[in-house]
Structure 1
Amino acid sequence: MTWLNTGIGGHKVRDLEARWQDDVLDARPDVVSILVGVNDMGWHTIVPDGYVIPAEDFAAGYDRLLAPLAEAGTELILIEPFLLPISGTVTARDTHIDEEIRKEWRADLDPKIQVVRELAREYGAHPLAADSMFAELAATTGPEYWAADGVHPTPAGHAALASAWLRLVA
């Protein structure tokens, strides 16, 4: 069995589309697991690139990624993007994140999570409900245990994702 990880941190749906043929389709994979969406969220409105993608455009781009894989009979695992409620986080660009900004992000991310769920149904993919999983886990331990900044998993967060992924494909 061969595993390929072609994920690149910070990439958005548009970035995946630009490299999809070379990085994914040319490998003719049996299984593809995708986690994308948090970088398509409105948090980029407070950082220099200012990139924001409406849920409809996110859906269209994501659909273009999935269509050739489904046509080839590839097993799909779609991991929904997630955001944990970390207060007072300072990003790498020294921007203070308050509760109001987090609410704006959540309002932008929730429709994208719905897109991932709808595409999973449409394509018969295995959905991994990471957002609700982390919300449930954070209720007992606090969100920082799973993702110190709300979006990048800690070792415990990665272990939780891996365990959930394995349950889907077992």
Structure 2
Amino acid sequence: MRRFYQLLQIALIAIPLLAMRQDKPLRVIFFGDSITQAGVSPTGYITKMTEMLKAAGQDSQFELAGAGIGGNKVYDLYLRLEDDVLSKKPDVVFIYVGINDVWHKTSSGTGTDPDKYVKFYEALIKKMKAQNIRIIVCTPTVIGEKNDNSNAQDGDLNEYSKLIRDIAKRNNLELCDLRKYFGDYLVKNNPENKDKGILTSDRVHLTDEGNKFLAERMMEALVKVK
């Protein structure tokens, strides 16, 4: 909770500065898979961000919306970009996709190869940039919470996270490095090296604590003032 209130203090300073730059609520869309689909639930991370804004007295300055569909991979996002994102005329879009691109390789043989992942990801970026949208790219979090790099998909998740970091650098985009944030948290808070039950309920989808942690990290990225 202390971290939560520290973040609110940041928001009280940074959010008014952002809000003064426009005469309408800043429209923010979170574009992703089932984690984002659940983000608008009563305990989801998008709902928690809205509550944080309300506590800071700034909920009227921001309009947060989820555009997550369970099972989605990067090419699914590309196919629904126009209807679910561009048509909404957002000011800010968080792209948070990659778990299924990795996970489905072993679960169903329908994952996304790294080269195709990058091509579809950069195609998303190109279309958003054409509408002058502020883009924040997110690395994938976890498929298993063991903190010693022994989860089955850790190698691929690390590789795809590096791809996103490179994409962010190459396209001069803001990065929300969730892979690193989750890893650092689990090193400190998972002394028994459990594979779930800390930030996730099933190795992937978030617990209430996981949603709170994700909301804080997303909020830090959103209110960053350059």
TM-score (norm 2): 0.63
Deviation of 1:84 after TM superposition, in Å, equals 5.2
Could you say which residue in structure 2 is the equivalent of 1:156? 209
Greater Cα shift, 127-136 or 106-115: 106-115
Find the residue that maps to 1:73 and give its secondary structure: coil
Which amino acid in the other structure matches residue 54 of structure 1? D
1:53 and 1:46 map into 2 onto residues whose CA distance is 11
Could you say which residue in structure 2 is the equivalent of 1:114? 162
Could you say which residue in structure 2 is the equivalent of 1:34? 95
2:188 and 2:114 map into 1 onto residues whose CA distance is 31
Deviation of 1:44 after TM superposition, in Å, equals 2.1
Could you say which residue in structure 2 is the equivalent of 1:138? 186
Structure 1 pair 45/166, CA: closer, same or farther in 2 (3 Å)? closer
TM-score (norm 1): 0.82
Structure 1 pair 44/3, CA: closer, same or farther in 2 (3 Å)? same
Aligned residues: 154
Find the residue that maps to 1:144 and give its secondary structure: coil
Which amino acid in the other structure matches residue 104 of structure 2? H
Q: Specify which structure has the higher proportion of strand.
A: 2
1:73 and 1:67 map into 2 onto residues whose CA distance is 10
2:219 and 2:129 map into 1 onto residues whose CA distance is 21
1:34 and 1:22 map into 2 onto residues whose CA distance is 15
Matches within 5 A, 1:67-146: 67-83=126-142, 85-86=144-145, 102-103=151-152, 105-142=153-190, 144-146=197-199
Gaps of 5+ in 2: 1-24, 26-62, 191-195
Find the residue that maps to 2:188 and give its secondary structure: helix
2:109 and 2:207 map into 1 onto residues whose CA distance is 26
Could you say which residue in structure 2 is the equivalent of 1:165? 218
Stretches of 4+ aligned residues off by more than 6 angstroms: none
Structure 1 pair 56/45, CA: closer, same or farther in 2 (3 Å)? closer
1:63 has 2:63 as partner = no
1:17 and 1:65 map into 2 onto residues whose CA distance is 6
1:51 has 2:110 as partner = yes
Find the residue that maps to 1:3 and give its secondary structure: strand
1:158 and 1:81 map into 2 onto residues whose CA distance is 14
Could you say which residue in structure 2 is the equivalent of 1:93? none
2:105 and 2:64 map into 1 onto residues whose CA distance is 35
Q: Is the 8 A contact 1:32 1:77 kept in 2?
A: yes
Give the number of the structure whose alpha-carbon radius of gyration is greater: 2
For residues 55-85 of structure 1, the C-alpha deviation after alignment (integer angstroms, 9 at most, x for no partner) is 1110001111111111222111111102154
